Amino acid sequence: MKITAYEVRKDEEEKMRQVAEACGVKELVITEKPLTIETLDLAEGAVGVTTLGQSKINEEICSRLHEMGITGYSTRTIGYNHVDLNAAQKYGIQVSNASYSPHGVAEYTVMMLLMSLRKYKPALYRINVNDYSLDGLIGGELHEMTVGIIGTGKIGDTVIKNLSGFGCKIYAYDVYEKDTVKQYASYQDLDTIYRECDAISLHIPLLDSTYHMIDETAINKMKKNVILVNCARGELMDIEAVIHGVEEEKIGAVALDVFENENGIYHHDRRTDIIKNREMAYLRQFPNVIMTQHMAFYTQQAVDSMVKCGIESIAAFAKNEDYPCRLTGERR
């Protein structure tokens, strides 16, 4: 059995080889390159391929995989907006995604909120140049705030549980309400969250209905000095509207671990390159804006789980076995 793994980071390699050996994989091809038409030759003779989110699994790729006799694909990510599931289904390719503990992202979300609330970015910049003044660094206290959590899946649910220990009031929004959330938060409609919350954090998937949901209209409904946190998907926010909100001092702080059109930038060393993302370059200069490189997920536990799902699912598909993270296809 041969599996080709694309976009493999150095921190994945050892675990990937261990899992492949345990699954009976005889040949494991590892490359840092994304899966493209030009790199498909690396998968010749493989039963399946696995990638991260930089590879675009479109109809052309699915067609070529089918021609090569490859019937399994796994993305070592929870999100799968880069995968055309209809095309995969059309060409008989079984697809899976990854799963991992929600705690890493949930803890990171709370950290980003606290950093914003306590003005950590300008404080850190000052101390690095021996400026120990306090002017402009006065913060707030989380226990006196109302925090809105949009999306109460595994991560949103865990964020709510984490926040409950701070004593703040928590509002939640989701199409599907959960009894476990109601122990700690009150479900509200979006307008109520926008109108009454001092901080809002996004934990919903990217869908047609959620694309740019944080736009000018939504921001205008929010409280002055609202804190916005996004550790979900960059495309949930209309960045031009967010920039305007910061400039007009409607938004008090922004903490982003994701950014629209981040592919090709985040997770790469681009220090000597010209970055073609003006909104990213402009927004990060504000003292009340924190931006990190899509790393909320990045814990050893999560990476191990992502690798495990990526290899195990392809091996299971090849053996005509089911796998919990299957997105398309049926056992043959």
Enzyme catalytic residues = 233, 262, 294
Q: Please give the Cα distance from 203 to 141 (Å, whole number).
A: 23
Q: Please give the Cα distance from 195 to 311 (Å, whole number).
A: 45
Per-residue DSSP letters for 246-307? HHTT-EEEEEES--TT-TTTTTS--TTSPP--HHHHHHTTSTTEEE--S-TT-SHHHHHHHH
How many residues in total does the chain contain?
A: 332
What the block records as the tokens of 293 is: 């490189």
Q: Please give the Cα distance from 252 to 255 (Å, whole number).
A: 10
Sheet holding 289-291, edge to edge: 186-187, 169-173, 146-150, 199-202, 226-230, 251-256, 289-291
Residues 291-327: b if buried by 16+ CB within 10 A, e if exposed: bbebebbbbeebbbbbbbbbbbbbbbbbeeeebebbb
Phi/psi for 25 (5° steps) reads -75, 120
Q: Give the single-character DSSP code of 199.
A: E
What HEC string does 228-256 produce?
EEECCCHHHECHHHHHHHHHCCCEEEEEE
Q: Please give the Cα distance from 321 to 313 (Å, whole number).
A: 9
Distance of CA 95 to the CA centre of its chain: 19
Q: Give the single-character DSSP code of 223.
A: P
By the 10 Å C-beta count (0-12 exposed, 13-18 middle, 19+ buried), 56 is classed as middle
